[in-house]
C-alpha cells in the first residue's frame, strides 16, 4: 500500500470538536485550513459555536468562493456519517435565530441558540456564542457594526502587510492581535466578557462554558468555572477538542496564510496523546485542591 496515501487518509478520532467565528462569506476566512482540519478529524459531536456564516458581510456584498463551499460539504459529510452537529447561532449569523423556535433538525444537524454538553467524565458545560455578554454588541449595535467594518479593513491591510513581510523573509505579524494587546479598552472588554460568562455559569449551575465571539482561544479557570474559548478561523485557526477521557485542549491548525507551518503532531503534555497536524495543544489547567 502507498504509505503517503495512507497518511493523507489517516484521521484523528476525538469525542467532540468545537469551532467558532469562521465568518464564511468574508475574504479573511481561512476556509481551506478549516476544511483540512475537518477532513482530518472524526468526532461524535461537532459544535459550530456561532458566526459560522457572516450574514452582516453578505448583506453588504456577496463573496463565496469554492473553499467556503468545501467547508459546508465537510460539515454535511460529518453529519451524514453519524456525527451529531449543533449549529449555535451568533451575532453575525443572527438571521438564523428566528428559525430556532421551529426546532429545526435536518438529519443530524440541530439549530439552537445554546446547548449543554456533558463531557466524557461527567462535567456539564454551557455552550453558546457569547455575544449576549458583549455590552457593545447587545446595546450599541451601530457601534458594533462600525467596529466590524474597521476590523474588516484591518484584516484587509493585514493580508497585504504580511504578503510584503513574507516576500522579504519576515514572519507573520497580526496587526489586530497587536492592537488588542496594546489598547487598554480592548483588554478591559475581553476581561469583562470573560467575567460575565463565568457568572452566567455560576447562575446556571454548570461546571464551565464554551464560547467564541472575541476571537481569542483560551482555556483557564475563573474561580471554580472552566472558561473555554474556541478562538476563530480568521486569524488564529483554532478549535477545542475533547478526547474520550473528557480532556479538552486548544488545537492550533497549520496555516501558511498566517505564518504557521505544519511541523507534525504535537503532544498533549497531560496525557501524551497527539493531534495530527496540530502545532500546539493547550490542556485545561488542573483544578486547585
270-282 residue pLDDT tens: 333 334 344 444 4
Burial class (CB in 10 A: 0-12, 13-18, 19+), 32: middle
Look at residue 152 in the predicted model and tell me its pLDDT: 61
Residue 137 scores a pLDDT above 60: no
- DSSP state, residue 263: -
Q: In the structure, what pLDDT confidence band is assigned to residue 141 with cuts at 50, 70 and 90? A: very low
Nine cell digits for residue 32: 481551506
Nearest to 56 by CA among 129, 147, 134: 147
Dist. CA 171–CA 158, nearest whole Å = 13
HEC string for 116-171:
EEECCCCCEEEEECCHHHCHHHHHCHHHHHHHHHHHHHHHHHHHHHHHHHHHCCCC
Quick one: fold of 3-129+207-283?
Purple Acid Phosphatase; chain A, domain 2 (3.60.21)
pTM of the model: 0.76
Q: Which residue has the higher pLDDT, 156 or 58?
A: 58
Q: Which residue has the higher pLDDT, 68 or 153?
A: 68
211-270 residue pLDDT tens: 999 888 999 999 899 999 999 999 889 999 999 999 999 999 987 766 676 544 333 333
What is the residue-averaged pLDDT of the chain? 79
Look at residue 131 in the predicted model and tell me its pLDDT: 87
- DSSP state, residue 66: H
Can you give the residue ranges of every domain in the chain?
Answer: 3-129+207-283
Dist. CA 49–CA 69, nearest whole Å = 18
Amino acid at each position: 500500500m502507498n504509505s503517503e496515501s495512507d497518511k493523507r487518509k489517516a484521521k484523528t478520532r476525538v469525542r467532540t470538536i468545537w469551532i467558532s467565528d469562521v465568518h464564511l462569506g468574508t475574504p479573511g476566512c481561512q476556509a481551506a485550513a478549516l476544511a483540512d482540519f475537518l477532513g482530518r478529524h472524526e468526532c461524535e459531536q461537532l459544535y459550530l459555536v456561532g458566526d459560522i456564516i457572516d450574514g452582516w458581510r453578505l448583506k453588504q456584498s456577496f463573496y463565496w468562493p469554492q473553499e467556503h463551499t468545501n467547508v459546508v460539504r465537510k460539515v454535511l459529510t460529518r453529519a451524514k456519517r453519524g456525527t451529531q452537529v449543533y449549529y449555535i447561532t451568533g451575532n453575525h449569523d443572527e438571521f438564523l435565530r428566528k428559525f430556532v423556535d421551529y426546532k429545526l433538525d435536518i438529519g443530524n444537524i440541530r439549530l439552537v441558540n445554546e446547548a449543554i454538553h456533558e463531557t466524557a467524565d461527567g462535567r456539564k458545560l454551557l455552550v453558546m456564542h457569547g455575544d449576549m455578554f458583549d455590552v457593545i454588541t447587545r446595546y450599541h449595535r451601530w457601534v458594533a457594526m462600525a467596529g466590524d467594518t474597521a476590523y474588516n479593513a484591518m484584516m484587509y491591510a493585514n493580508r497585504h502587510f504580511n504578503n510584503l513581510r513574507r516576500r522579504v523573509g519576515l514572519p507573520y505579524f497580526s496587526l489586530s492581535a497587536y492592537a488588542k494587546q496594546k489598547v487598554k479598552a480592548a483588554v478591559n472588554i475581553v476581561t469583562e466578557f470573560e467575567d460575565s460568562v463565568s457568572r452566567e455559569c455560576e447562575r446556571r449551575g454548570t461546571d464551565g462554558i464554551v464560547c467564541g465571539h472575541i476571537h481569542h482561544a483560551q482555556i483557564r479557570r475563573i474561580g471554580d468555572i472552566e472558561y473555554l474559548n474556541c478562538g476563530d478561523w480568521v486569524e488564529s485557526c483554532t478549535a477545542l477538542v475533547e478526547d474520550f477521557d473528557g480532556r479538552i485542549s486548544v488545537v492550533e491548525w497549520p496555516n501558511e496564510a498566517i505564518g504557521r507551518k505544519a511541523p507534525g503532531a504535537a503532544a498533549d503534555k497531560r496525557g501524551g496523546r497527539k493531534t495530527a497536524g496540530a502545532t500546539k495543544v493547550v490542556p485545561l489547567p488542573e483544578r486547585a485542591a
